Amino acid sequence: MNDTTFRSGYVAVIGRPNVGKSTLINRILGQKLCITSRRPQTTRHRVLGIKTTETAQLIYVDTPGLHSDGKRAMNRYMNRAAAASIDDVDVVIFMVDSLSWTDEDEAVLNRLQRSAVAPVVLVLNKVDKINDKAALLPQIEQLSQRFDFADVVPVSARKGMNIESLESTLEHYLPQGELIYDPEHLTDRSSRFLAAELIREKLFRHLGQELPYSLTVEVEQFKDVDGLLDISAVIYVERSGQKSIVIGKKGELLKQVGKDAREEMETLFGNKVFLQLWVKVREGWSDNERMLRNLGYNDDL
């Protein structure tokens, strides 16, 4: 590597909930790091995804989606975590859906107008669903009149369209500098954290509309026993009635969640996994600042 031209820095990826931020980072990294689902607010923590090339190290900051509902302590925490990511980065991606514009997009744009210091790249996602790309021009022109974007890049995070162009654009705005992380590292998060997130993702996919927002996962044991990962995790819910739903009839739902999570952990960690799941009630955890801190929801702030 030529140190005089090597660049390194942080890239915050912000946008409304469920706009495709985690999918974009997974696509850039070439493997799954950030959990995803079709439901908004799946991401609760800031997660760093590290991409190292011959010419640069880009450290992507996946953030919870900024949203307007700040009534619960959990939602306030996610908004703080997302807003904090705009500060102290070298470049910001403002990701929007090329097919729609919502009040939550408006709120993110307003926050950028108030506080963004770093260059902001407007990324329009889901352009694979638009046959005539000229149809994007009115949206780009309208948004560019409201904010001085450093660049505009249309992409499809799901299909991988134009990702290399986006990476090249971002690299241009990074300062010259040395490696910040070991080039072999993919993230700053622990394997224990990633295991908990995978379990939570499977719960999002198997449960009904509202219940996933009332649960969290804590990994109590993560041991390597001669190459076998022995993992025990507790799923906390807020009411006793939710516990029976998570377990399912004859334990079938919990068993399926465990099976899906275990298989994905084995792919991610490259080891066989023995996974045990338990479900416990912790009333009001999502609206209690102290409980949130005890469950690790203060690590990002």
Domains (range + CATH), the chain: 7-172 (3.40.50.300), 191-294 (3.30.300.20)
The closest alpha carbon to 92, from 12, 173, 16, 175, belongs to 12
Task: Tell me if 63 is assigned to a ligand binding site.
Answer: yes
Q: Is 133 annotated as a binding residue?
A: no
19 is in an annotated binding site: yes
Contacts of 202 (CB under 8 A, 6+ apart): 256, 257, 260, 261, 264
Residue 148 labeled ligand binder: no
Report whether 126 belongs to an annotated binding site: yes
- pLDDT digit string, tens, across residues 249-296: 999 999 999 999 999 999 999 999 999 999 999 988 877 777 777 776
125 is in an annotated binding site: yes
- 159 in a labelled binding site: no
pLDDT digits (tens, 9 = 90+) for 209-250: 667 678 899 999 999 999 999 999 999 999 999 999 999 999
Q: Against a cut of 0.85, is the pTM above it?
A: no
Does the annotation list 258 as a binding residue? no
| Identity of the residue numbered 61 | V
Distance from the Cα of residue 294 to its chain's centroid? 21
